[in-house]
Structure 1
Amino acid sequence: MNVSAPPLVRFRQVGKTYDGVTPVVEALDLDIHEGEFLSLLGPSGSGKTTCLMMLAGFESPSTGEIWLGDTLLNTTPPHRRDIGMVFQNYALFPHMTVAQNVGYALTVRRVGKAEKAAAVARALDMVRMREFADRLPKSLSGGQQQRVALARALVFNPRLVLMDEPLGALDKRLREHMQIELKDLHRTLGITFVYVTHDQSEALTMSDRVAVFDRGRIQQIDRVHALYETPENGTVANFVGDNNVFVGRLLSLDGDRGEIGLTGGERLTGRVVGSPRVGDAVRACVRPERMTLAGDDASALVPSLNTLRARTAGTLYFGDHVRVRFAVSQQEGGFVKLPLDDAGPAQRPDGDTMTLRFHERHLRIFA
């Protein structure tokens, strides 16, 4: 991904409404760079799929412009956009063989027979499906159908490949395997991928950058690590990854370091994000893996460490880690993630008192 070069795709103040009143996508500005793997992540109705459909040409923007290189796409029909598309249900023709499905885009483009055969073979080799060229889709597994759909999107060497939740119909193990395959294929080909998903693990596993959508707007677009570790608002913090949330009021503010008082009287310090003022109601978030369980020893008094008294509320075994559920007075319940070897302190009866400990740099405070 070359971020210094002009973007391959540009959305400029793009809006979409179906009834002329309610915006589905609102004032969208977005640059997509050549060769990157960008995921559009968000809940149902957030506008991510509408954004993808406008880029593909299956929806038209109500306002604004969409550019692919030097070409304005607003009035360009889908088959002239040089964009490959992988749909959620694969959209394979049931009466055509695998090879015929993959070659369909070339047939529409009136590519010669020999050239088409060579291109289809190359595309099937990319996804390791050449031996299935003469089969019908109904004889293939879900993962194999997904590979065929991807080969069809790649066969004409598009500048851009769009994917609308293509792994949603697969079981968990196969879905995780296909995530690795897609990322490896992207790295090998160097083609720009734009991927729509509501699954945060998919987005974090495969992407160079992730754009988090909510209510028709991008809440944050960033590299995976930055998005997870430094969310810019509570919407992103709560949608990307697990979080423990504490509610209270901002008591003091020194630069971006703030102290909050919880509704139960406890005090915590962390980094303030946005522009809440002293006295405002705030929500503070900390990742479960950033918390530890500790006894009441002197190290708990280190100034940069937050400590919080809680009650145990059960232990959940996940195979590779243990989740210790806790309850804090007048707060939502939460949990701590612990490696199996560190789960000893978790073996306490429900309702027993424990001390939670976490560094202030891991607590983010939002208005």
Structure 2
Amino acid sequence: MNATAQPLVRFRGVGKSYDGVTPVVEGLDLDIQEGEFLSLLGPSGSGKTTCLMMLAGFESPSKGEIWLGDTLLNTTPPHKRNIGMVFQNYALFPHMSVAENVAYPLTVRRVDRAAKAEAVKRALDMVRMNEFADRLPKSLSGGQQQRIALARALVFNPRLVLMDEPLGALDKRLREHMQIELKDLHRTLGLTFVYVTHDQSEALTMSDRVAVFDNGRIQQIDRVDSLYETPSNGVVANFVGDNNVFVGRLISVQDGRAEVGLPDGERIFGQMVGAARVGDTVRACVRPERMTLCTRSGFDGGTPSLNTMHARTAGTLYFGDHVRVRFAVNQQEGGFVKVPLDDESLTEWSAGDELMLKFDERHLRIFA
């Protein structure tokens, strides 16, 4: 992926409304670089799927322009866009064999028989499904059908591959396996993938960049590590990953370092994000894995950048690879800390115990 080159896809001022009044997508400016894996992430109704459907040509923008390279797509029909599409329900023809399904885009393009047979074999080889060429879709598992849908999207060598929650119908284990396969295939082919999902872990696992949608707008687009560690607003912080949230009053801000007073009188420090005035109510967010805990009797102070808070244990939850110790803080919503399974202190905690929460102010982000 070359971020300095002209983007493969450009959205410029794109908006979409179905009734002419309520915007589904609004003011969308988006560049998609050639060769990248970009995920469009957001809750239902956030505009991510509408964005994908406008790029595919199944919806038309109400305003703005969409470009693929030097081609304006607004009036280009879907079959002339050279874009592959994988749908959530796979959309395979039940009366056609696997090979016939994969060949369908070439049949529409009037590719001759020999070239078509070679292309179908090559596409099925990519997804390791050649032995199923003569089967009907109904005889295949969900994961196998997903592979066939992907082969059909790749068979005509598209410039761009779009995927609309293609793994949503699979069970957790198969879904995670297919995530790895898709990422490996993307790396091998070097194509541009645009992937729609509401699953944050899926987006973080597979993508080079993620665009977080909410209310028809992109709230943040960034590399996955930056998106997780430095969310640009509260919407992104709350939607991407787990967060412990403390509500308080902004006491001071200096050079981006903010001091927040909590209702119980304690004070914490963190990084101010966005604009807020002294006295405003703010939300301070910190990831559970960035926090540690200890008994109050065992607390030995800390560095000047270490935030500390009094809390009580509220039980534990076993997650297989870690344990979540739930806590309660006066006049705040409950939260939890992720603790490794081999942490010997786990045997010490029981509901109602007093404890100290500790976290570095670098990991606390404060939003208006």
**1:184-203 matched pairs, under 5 angstroms:** 184-203=184-203
Classify the secondary structure of the residue corresponding to 1:341. Answer: coil
Query: 2: CA distance between counterparts of 1:301 and 1:87?
Result: 53
> Which deviations, in whole Å up to 9, do the C-alpha atoms of 1:141-178 show, x marking residues without a partner?
00000000000000000000000000000000000000
Q: 2:38, 2:194 within 8 Å by CA — same for their partners in 1?
A: yes
Partner of 2:131: 131
What do residues 3-35 of structure 1 show as CA deviations (whole Å, max 9, x unaligned)?
Answer: 011000000000000111110000000000000
Q: Which residue of 2 aligns with 1:257?
A: 257
Aligned residue for 1:300, secondary structure, equals coil
Structure 2 distance, partners of 1:139, 1:315, is: 44
Equivalent runs, 1:121-160 vs 2, <5 Å: 121-160=121-160
Alpha-carbon distance between aligned partners in 1 of 2:344 and 2:197, rounded to the nearest angstrom: 33
Aligned positions of 1:63-82 closer than 5 A: 63-82=63-82
**Aligned equivalents of 2:235 and 2:266: distance in 1?**
24
Amino acid at match of 1:116: K
Report deviation, 1:298. Answer: 6.2
Letter aligned with residue 310 of structure 1: A
2-side partners of 1:272 and 1:285: how far apart? 11
TM-fit CA distance, 1:278: 1.2
Contact 2:250 2:277 in 1 (8 A): yes
Query: Considering only aligned residues, what root-mean-square deviation do their CA atoms show, in Å?
Result: 0.9
CA distance in 1: counterparts of 2:303 and 2:46, whole angstroms: 42
SS in 2 for 1:263: coil
Pick closer, same or farther for the CA change 1:18–1:286 going to 2, 3 Å.
same
Contact 1:293 1:345 in 2 (8 A): no
Question: Which residue identity lines up with residue 342 of structure 1 in the other structure?
Answer: D
Change (3 A) 1:343 1:242: farther
Per the TM alignment, residue 91 of structure 1 is displaced from its structure 2 partner at its CA by: 0.1
Q: Percent identity?
A: 81
TM-superposed deviation, 1:127: 0.2
Mapped to 1, the partners of 2:68 and 2:363 lie a distance apart of: 39
Matched, 1:326 2:327: yes
Match status 1:12 vs 2:12: yes
Change (3 A) 1:7 1:346: farther
Query: What is the deviation of 1:300?
Result: 2.5
Is contact 2:295–2:354 with CA below 8 Å preserved after alignment?
no
Distance in 1 (alpha carbons) for counterparts of 2:319 and 2:261: 33
Per-residue Cα deviation, 1:315-334 (whole angstroms, up to 9, x for no partner): 01111100000000010110
- Report the AA paired with residue 81 of structure 2: R
In structure 2, how many angstroms separate the alpha carbons of the residues matched to 1:189 and 1:183? Answer: 10
Stretches of structure 1 lacking an aligned partner (at least 5 in a row): none
Shift of 1:122: 0.2
Deviation at 1:139, TM superposition (A): 0.3
In structure 2, the partner of 1:87 is: 87
Report deviation, 1:295: 3.4
User: Runs of 4 or more off by more than 3 Å in structure 1?
Assistant: 295-299
Go from structure 1 to structure 2 and tell me whether the alpha carbon gap of 1:322 and 1:94 turns closer, same or farther (over 3 Å shift).
Answer: same
Question: Quick check: 1:61 aligned with 2:55?
Answer: no
Measure the CA separation in 1 of the matches of 2:301 and 2:90. Answer: 54
* TM-score w.r.t. length of structure 2: 0.98
Distance 1:146 1:288 in 2: 35
The residue type paired with residue 357 of structure 1 is K
**Structure 2 CA distance for aligned equivalents of residues 263 and 10 of structure 1:** 47
Structure 2 segments unaligned to the other structure (5+ residues) = none
Conservation of the 8 A alpha-carbon contact between 1:324 and 1:346:
no
Residue in 2 that maps onto 1:39? 39
